Every structure is written in C-alpha cells, then in structure tokens.
Amino acid sequence: MKTISIKVPEEMYQEMKELNLNWSGEIRKEIEDKIKKAKRRQKASKAQDFLKKKAKEGLSGADERLQAYERGKEELSKEKEGK
C-alpha cells in the first residue's frame, strides 16, 4: 500500500483530533467512491459516443436509447450535486 500526505488548516486538524476517527480509512473510502463514480462517468461517456454514432448511422432505436441515456446522465449529475 502506498502512502500519501495532505495538508489541512490547523483548525480543521484540531477538529479532526477531537472526533477521533480513523481518518485514513474515511479518506480511503471517499477516494474509492470518487474512483467508482469517475469510472461510471467514463463508461457512460463512451456509451453516449457510441449511441450518437449509431444514431447518425440511422440504426432503429438508437435515438430512444440515447434519450434514455441522457436521462440517466442527468440523474447521475443530480446525485453528484446532492452529495
């Protein structure tokens, strides 16, 4: 396992000490969550590009799939903003 370091303001550091949490574990979980979300966005972006290409080629149903994808993308964006 690799080690990383971060700097936080003194006030934040004092608050962290008072809470006495496993900060390494908490930060690791957040990083893992960000990685998962970034991978989902990347995968969705590739799917969107594929569907746009197919829609331009005129394959039936591609427009409906693209619209469904766009709705899902909007929901993911709202979820991200809510966090």
18-29 residue pLDDT tens: 998 999 999 999
User: CA dist 37 to 45, 49, 63, Å?
Assistant: 12, 18, 25
Whether the CB-CB separation of 76 and 44 falls below 8 Å is answered with: yes
Q: Is residue 4 part of a domain?
A: no
Is this prediction's pTM over 0.85? no
Q: Is residue 26 part of a domain?
A: yes
| Domain with 41 in it | 22-82
Q: Is residue 53 part of a domain?
A: yes
Number of domains in the chain: 1
Q: Is residue 34 part of a domain?
A: yes
Mean pLDDT of 25-44: 94
Q: Is residue 12 part of a domain?
A: no
Q: Is residue 55 part of a domain?
A: yes
Q: Is residue 3 part of a domain?
A: no
Q: Is residue 16 part of a domain?
A: no
